Structure 1
């Protein structure tokens, strides 16, 4: 077998990940780039006599040094031993996509283009001469369909052919004689140092004119560094005098001029562009007045379906764990061992796993909304609201939306924001978004107290998180994070029917993480909670006289003004710092699983809470300090404990104030 290392590169929303999923299926894993916090998806498959190692590069519009994703992508092309870079391109938005293609050509990448979404291009009456485009670019262009896999066989055979005959694609670029001449002056000096020739000299020259800090630092270490930089300054001044623009703008214009020439030769478009289905839908979905209501309706339907479909399966799993606990208890004579297995392990971990159907459905619906193109519209819609109320652009809402899944990748996603103040502020807001780890908590209380309004109550909790985040953001923006936000630029992808395989793979990745957590963190916490519930030996299990009860009794008065001043609630909140699912594991451990449901978690919740205090508790668990993993992510992203501790303080104070107001205003309104 011949090993091939292939990178998939392209703009966001061009079908790159769909291609990756089609090629690799379940033979993939997700981690971080070595030394970086950018997510790395890598997969393997075989084709003929070739063993493929495919890396899904971050979606980028350019290869500058403005974000970690861009740096990671270009470092992979420059430094890693990739054989071919497959550039996935949206045929319906070819001009915009080609800007990244041109930058990869400057790098001399061995390219093959996968021309995707051709059906959308045809609907817009765009006729692309693929053979001519391939000739003008200097590398193969293959028509593919990411969803169906059409064209994949030809794409892979072309990749294999290109791997044997690598191309220097920089040779095909033409930016006009004037700019070419000035670049040549810089290239001539660069080429004197062999250490600078790991990439085409034209790319280094262009990056120096663009004032790329990483390239400048590398050149400064060269023995010709000062000579090169003097020449760069001289060329920059000349370009500014001639074009009345900075060298960055001049280079960008030269790239677009090359693209315009390519488009004029190889693509025919109608004089007046046809209105697409996406345009028609967006007139309603992104309407200034209708958009917020549409967002709320879609969220409500999603939550209602989650509970309606998931509840019967949840009951089945609950009964199964109850029967398992009874079965195990009947065969173990030692009461402590029986308690350890039934109350500690089955009660703790099983209590969380009963909510697996709801978790799966939530991830499934979120994946569908993301893949069909709606979540990007939600961020675009809320941009206007955020800008008016907070002074923070909607780009900050993208990590917040990701926070509905998990706070850790959402915190990592803030690095795409150019303004450091906005980035820090976004990190402070992500923990207020209700991650799926909190979903089992809501499920317990909604089933116990609000069973006739599941969707409405869940929507209320999610909206509460968004509203509180906006209020906190407005306060922080005027105190700790003063200053102007950077403009919000975002592409709205074309609406499309989600790929079943892609949605299922995405859902499985998230569910796998939940199951892994259940088998590690939640299991460990359940065992600790069980031990604290049974000692000192001889006391009633899980009573106020146990070590756990004594700890909870000391802490409980702090939460009394919020309506849940019981030791059980206090212990659950403290345990939830490890992972929010452990709140449920705590109730499960205390209640045990041997008894039927009414004598288990549901009875414990009914005995400990009222409907008002239950809602106050849900609000507190929504808003208070996130799990240790999220705290660690902020420390890692900021390289400082200061911001991690600041976030802990902000969320804890906010949670206390909001829950206090909910409970006490509720009492005054007669909801006690």
Structure 2
């Protein structure tokens, strides 16, 4: 069987790499995480000239120096996995900036094909690129493409197959970095050559350049494997660094970057790029940004976009949500008719259908939300949100780069705190990084969305979009205020400056939007069908066992028999009386269970926030995963259903329950939004901070803060609403 060809798509963020990946692989792709790292790994397959091609979409990165986890992941994959060909996706309208990464691929010596993407955008800006001349200067194939339409992609794949067929690993490019650094690299050669294990993996000169750049990973590996040679190499790097500081006032990495850009400019000026007109006019993106990122209009537009997102989501998802609710109700009724009474029937109906079914019932809302977010992300507007939030973040003592962890964690809607915590690695300042780690869990992640939707739909159904919008604003405001408190107390320190590149606006492709929506929705559904199912069954068991003592079971049996004997003539009254007895027995069974006893014990404290013992059971499950709250509420209110003969949705059950009202719903919403992060997030915080103390602090501080807030809302609301 012919081996599968592996290609890696690399490039700067917003260069169109993911658009190309979606065009190549379509539905033949899956999303996971790199081993041991919560960074998304996309992998798919395509067929070209009868040959199957495995396509890996590497994280977007500006450099191969390990300043961030994305850069580290991309570099390690190229070095350790050794793909047959690397396709460097370059933004043609920003050629000089993008070729900086290309230079590093050449220095690393990987089989390379450069895909000049968005060539149409460059031409609209009056820029013409001679791909043949650029290919000749760099010594690698250069193919113009338009990833959105697929133009030139076949030619790019032809070049990829040609490079792979040659089977020759190119020699690493030799770039000069000036007399001082070139001499230093020559002096370091004997010691680098002695590091045989490292030179077997990395090019020799490339190792020296990384040591001069003070690349943390390379420095650590050198010191671990060859401590004696490592000490001499580090000392030589220190000497040349001091020399450059005294003579030029710069660090070696700055000199290296300058010479790389000089190399790029020398290539571009050799007839590679010609301009039809002077680019002094505002491009379309710049014109839009003058309004969209305006100091006053920008935030107002952002709030309007967010409100429209929620309005779109709840307006168009209501019908499929009703369909799913009716479907699970029919399934529950069918199982009720088919199976005899007993533990197995209770497990299927209360543990599985009412538990997991309640979570699946929100899939249409999640899908519409993710579709809206994909539009904002693929169009380039989400980057503008980060840019505008930078000014606010500095006021609260955070770095502008903290914006993206907040957004990834659910700052717009539907993210996850785990990659948000991991994304904080890009922050250089330890105190800013720690403040970000501790506050990103306050965002309304995808796990909280079903809970928020459930309670808002049950008690504020006429204003769902408005309340979801306010919940998002509240999450941002609370998170920033907590960050400010932390930065003024335990994490004192000055804020560092923030610079980011804004991508041009683009019209998202329908194919790309559908793929992004399905990827995220499928992750949610997969979690509901695996993790949440397991936790739902465990919690069902805790809410079912132990059974009632024999004397109490006998009491209800006798009560039913007595009722049937005395009310035999009144069929309607008999059915109603037996229903009340069944409900009373179910309530006592639930109270007597392990989970019920815990919930009742906690109620002595939680009642100050209006939270009853059954809700306590669900909140305990939320420590494991927030999605479990919905399934546990479904199970708890199914086991203790008010009217066992009537199959109703969980929203209706809560609305009819005497322990619930709009004030209680607001208090519970506040508690769920801000109490302890889920278990996986806590583990990530411990790993990223390097201490379980910060993870424990996050759990305790968040939970105490959330409870105090819930108590305040309930007590004030009770005075105003329940008077």
TM (norm. structure 1) is 0.93
- C-alpha displacement at 1:231, in angstroms? 5.2
- C-alpha displacement at 1:601, in angstroms? 4.2
Once residues 326 and 226 of structure 1 are traced to their aligned partners in structure 2, the CA distance between those partners, rounded to angstroms, is 73
Once residues 108 and 296 of structure 2 are traced to their aligned partners in structure 1, the CA distance between those partners, rounded to angstroms, is 46
Give runs of aligned pairs for residues 79-478 of structure 1, distance below 5 A: 79-163=80-164, 164-166=166-168, 168=170, 170-171=172-173, 173=175, 175=177, 180=182, 183-187=185-189, 190-191=192-193, 195-198=197-200, 199-219=202-222, 221=226, 228=233, 232=237, 235-236=240-241, 239-240=244-245, 243-265=248-270, 266-269=272-275, 270-388=277-395, 390-404=396-410, 405-478=415-488
- C-alpha displacement at 1:481, in angstroms? 1.2
Once residues 591 and 295 of structure 1 are traced to their aligned partners in structure 2, the CA distance between those partners, rounded to angstroms, is 39
Query: CA 1:549/1:494 → structure 2, altered by over 3 Å: closer, same or farther?
Result: same
Q: Please name the residue that 1:554 is paired with.
A: 601
Q: Please name the residue that 1:573 is paired with.
A: 619
Once residues 670 and 534 of structure 2 are traced to their aligned partners in structure 1, the CA distance between those partners, rounded to angstroms, is 26
Q: Please name the residue that 1:583 is paired with.
A: 629
Query: CA 1:511/1:150 → structure 2, altered by over 3 Å: closer, same or farther?
Result: same
SS of the equivalent of 1:43 reads strand
- C-alpha displacement at 1:451, in angstroms? 1.4
Q: Which moved more, 1:232-241 or 1:394-403?
A: 232-241
Residue 654 of structure 2, aligned match among 604, 610, 621: 604
Once residues 453 and 165 of structure 1 are traced to their aligned partners in structure 2, the CA distance between those partners, rounded to angstroms, is 63
Query: CA 1:184/1:362 → structure 2, altered by over 3 Å: closer, same or farther?
Result: same
Once residues 649 and 252 of structure 2 are traced to their aligned partners in structure 1, the CA distance between those partners, rounded to angstroms, is 74
Once residues 456 and 26 of structure 2 are traced to their aligned partners in structure 1, the CA distance between those partners, rounded to angstroms, is 37
Q: Please name the residue that 2:586 is paired with.
A: 541
Q: Is residue 368–residue 498 contact of structure 1 (8 Å, CA) maintained in 2?
A: yes
Q: Please name the residue that 2:79 is paired with.
A: 78
- C-alpha displacement at 1:186, in angstroms? 4.0
Once residues 707 and 334 of structure 2 are traced to their aligned partners in structure 1, the CA distance between those partners, rounded to angstroms, is 42
Q: Please name the residue that 2:6 is paired with.
A: 5
Once residues 462 and 229 of structure 1 are traced to their aligned partners in structure 2, the CA distance between those partners, rounded to angstroms, is 49
Once residues 449 and 240 of structure 2 are traced to their aligned partners in structure 1, the CA distance between those partners, rounded to angstroms, is 59
- C-alpha displacement at 1:116, in angstroms? 0.7
Once residues 264 and 7 of structure 1 are traced to their aligned partners in structure 2, the CA distance between those partners, rounded to angstroms, is 29
Q: Is residue 114–residue 144 contact of structure 1 (8 Å, CA) maintained in 2?
A: yes
Q: Is residue 127–residue 267 contact of structure 1 (8 Å, CA) maintained in 2?
A: yes
Q: Which moved more, 1:122-131 or 1:580-589?
A: 580-589
Q: Is residue 314–residue 365 contact of structure 2 (8 Å, CA) maintained in 1?
A: yes
Once residues 382 and 187 of structure 1 are traced to their aligned partners in structure 2, the CA distance between those partners, rounded to angstroms, is 47
- C-alpha displacement at 1:174, in angstroms? 5.1
Q: Please name the residue that 1:479 is paired with.
A: 489
- C-alpha displacement at 1:355, in angstroms? 1.2
Q: Is residue 28–residue 46 contact of structure 2 (8 Å, CA) maintained in 1?
A: yes
Once residues 26 and 637 of structure 2 are traced to their aligned partners in structure 1, the CA distance between those partners, rounded to angstroms, is 41
CA displacement 1:361-400 (0-9 Å, x = unmatched): 1111112211111111111111101111x11122112111
Q: Which moved more, 1:318-327 or 1:542-551?
A: 542-551
- C-alpha displacement at 1:652, in angstroms? 0.6
- C-alpha displacement at 1:408, in angstroms? 1.5
Once residues 265 and 510 of structure 2 are traced to their aligned partners in structure 1, the CA distance between those partners, rounded to angstroms, is 37
Q: Please name the residue that 2:707 is paired with.
A: 656
SS of the equivalent of 2:148 reads coil
Once residues 214 and 303 of structure 2 are traced to their aligned partners in structure 1, the CA distance between those partners, rounded to angstroms, is 45
1:528 corresponds to 2:538: yes
- C-alpha displacement at 1:167, in angstroms? 5.3
Q: Where does the alignment leave 5 or more consecutive residues of structure 1 unmatched?
A: none
**Rg larger in 1 or in 2?**
2
SS of the equivalent of 2:462 reads coil
Once residues 224 and 439 of structure 1 are traced to their aligned partners in structure 2, the CA distance between those partners, rounded to angstroms, is 54
Once residues 591 and 191 of structure 2 are traced to their aligned partners in structure 1, the CA distance between those partners, rounded to angstroms, is 80
Q: Is residue 458–residue 651 contact of structure 2 (8 Å, CA) maintained in 1?
A: no
Query: CA 1:78/1:666 → structure 2, altered by over 3 Å: closer, same or farther?
Result: same
Q: Is residue 355–residue 440 contact of structure 1 (8 Å, CA) maintained in 2?
A: yes
Query: CA 1:661/1:98 → structure 2, altered by over 3 Å: closer, same or farther?
Result: same
CA displacement 1:500-526 (0-9 Å, x = unmatched): 222222222222222222222322233
Q: When the two structures are aligned, how many residues end up with a matched partner? A: 670
SS of the equivalent of 1:53 reads strand
CA displacement 1:175-199 (0-9 Å, x = unmatched): 5677656544544764576555443
Q: Is residue 587–residue 601 contact of structure 1 (8 Å, CA) maintained in 2?
A: no
CA displacement 1:545-587 (0-9 Å, x = unmatched): 43143332211121222222x1122222112222222221122
SS of the equivalent of 2:327 reads helix
Q: Please name the residue that 2:573 is paired with.
A: none
Q: Is residue 587–residue 604 contact of structure 1 (8 Å, CA) maintained in 2?
A: no
Q: Which moved more, 1:138-147 or 1:242-251?
A: 242-251
CA displacement 1:477-513 (0-9 Å, x = unmatched): 1112111233222221111111222222222222222
- C-alpha displacement at 1:666, in angstroms? 2.7
Q: Please name the residue that 2:566 is paired with.
A: none
Q: Where does the alignment leave 5 or more consecutive residues of structure 2 unmatched?
A: 557-584
Query: CA 1:155/1:671 → structure 2, altered by over 3 Å: closer, same or farther?
Result: farther
Q: Is residue 39–residue 419 contact of structure 2 (8 Å, CA) maintained in 1?
A: no
Once residues 641 and 70 of structure 1 are traced to their aligned partners in structure 2, the CA distance between those partners, rounded to angstroms, is 27
